[in-house]
Amino acid sequence: MIDLDTLTITKARVALDGKIFSAVDLAKAYLAEIEKKNKELNAYLEVYDDVLDQAKEADERIAKGDSSPLLGIPLAIKDVILIKGRKVSSASKILENYTASYDATAIIKLKKQGAVFLGRTNMDEFALGSSTENSAYGVTKNPHDTNRVPGGTSGGSAVAVASNMALASLGSDTGGSVRHPAAFCGVVGMKPTYGGVSRYGLIAAVSSFDVIGPITKTTEDAQIIFDVIKGNDILDSTSVPDNFYEKISLKKELIIGVPWDLINQEGINLEIKKNFEEVVKSFENLGYKIKDIKLPNCLALYYIINFAEVSTNLARFDGVRYGLHKDGKNLLEDYLLTKGAGFGKETRRRILLGAYVLSAGYYDAYYGKAQKARIALRKEFIELFSEVDLILTPTSPIPAWKIGEKSDPLSMYLADIFTVTANLVGVPAVSLPSGFMEIEDLAQAGKRLPLGIQLMASHGAEDLLFEIGKKFEANIAL
């Protein structure tokens, strides 16, 4: 019997190489959990029919003495990352039954390792949202309370890990899409430096923000996956050069910046504030110096650029070459019928708003100003990281909300206040589990919601995040 509750990639590697259990045994254990739980949680849109065949191949490699960090490790893949010959829909009707014609670069690297792909996970359509309620294939539910959202957009990937339906998973992060669901589900979510992981084979939402990142149980597991998928790619001109990541030597006294003005404003849940203050004390007890810093509220800036790039990127989905197609009387009606039936409500909203901010007469007033503000923000962060080593915030200002509770899109956008900045300036960030809060509902007495904290570091300083994350995990009792 494999104890999936305490299993990590590191432990699984030792057990697989030591023949304590096989890759087939491990895959069967996760498939059994999927069979038991997925109908209720809706984390997977599809479970692959060749999982055991993949696992057998891994066992054959292990029998020959081969060993690599992810050989035989069962992973869930967000339904926005291409795997050749497999369906990928970006949780949208407009790409229903679309089959990928090539592998994403991250997938190529995982295949070389011998990772086992369990299936594709649910998400907000085209990675637009914060709750995984915007999928064309139904809502994903939080395993800690199935009346609540798991966060988004990588909700299915986070739920798969949190509910033992995968040992780890890949998500994509546009404005917190890996970190939010990680915090809401009580797992680790890591957003690499922009360009640190190739975007080739990732269906684009916001090209200047998007990055593939791991969701895992521990910081060490996140580091293992990141070290496999990172690196330069000739197929992605925005990917960083191979010598970009230099080994960071940790200073004796690290300084952590905390933007108290942002955290003490209205709208931040009191239990989250209390938890965060305890986390700050934990870091002080570990010997880190805490420094009060100023951070702007970047939501307006983020969403103007988000809408603009979404509008441009999704223009390609017209039903002519692939995906859903509806016949009209002429080409224009084909487009209207296809896009009307294929795109969900939130996607249509962002396409329209993006077209507006990019239109003649408004481009300079909105998109042009936003790009200038983004350049200024990047300079501000360079100066900030000359004064502090890390920036610490809660991952989310609120805990997981009830499904359907935030029908107003603006209230959902506000939940991204702490996460979008890392995408705007391209720095790495990680969400770590930081505790729980009791649900104030007599009908749900005894249930607790996970909370998370976020650490940001300067460009290329992922190793610093991993080292501090591991120390934090070792010193906090959840």
* Domain locations along the chain: 9-229
CB 55 within 8 A of CB 73: no
Count Cα atoms within 13 angstroms, Cβ side, for 60: 6
Whether the pLDDT of residue 421 is over 80: the answer is yes
Mean pLDDT of 74-91: 98
Provide the sign of the torsion angle of the four alpha carbons 377, 429, 399, 420, taken in this order: positive
Mean pLDDT of 154-161: 98
The pLDDT of residue 248 is 66
Q: Whole-number mean pLDDT of the chain?
A: 94
Q: Which of 212, 224, 122, 123 is nearest to 167 (CA)?
A: 224
Q: Which of 438, 437, 391 is nearest to 418 (CA)?
A: 391
- CATH fold label, 9-229: Amidase signature (AS) enzymes (3.90.1300)
What size, in residues, is the chain?
A: 478
CB 156 within 8 A of CB 42: yes
Whether the pLDDT of residue 444 is over 70: the answer is no
Whether the pLDDT of residue 287 is over 70: the answer is yes
pLDDT above 70: percentage of residues in the chain: 97
Mean pLDDT of 378-388: 96
Mean pLDDT of 273-300: 95
The pLDDT of residue 292 is 97
The pLDDT of residue 336 is 86
Mean pLDDT of 350-374: 94
The pLDDT of residue 251 is 66
pLDDT tens, residue by residue, 180-239: 999 999 999 999 999 999 999 999 999 999 999 999 999 999 999 999 999 999 999 999
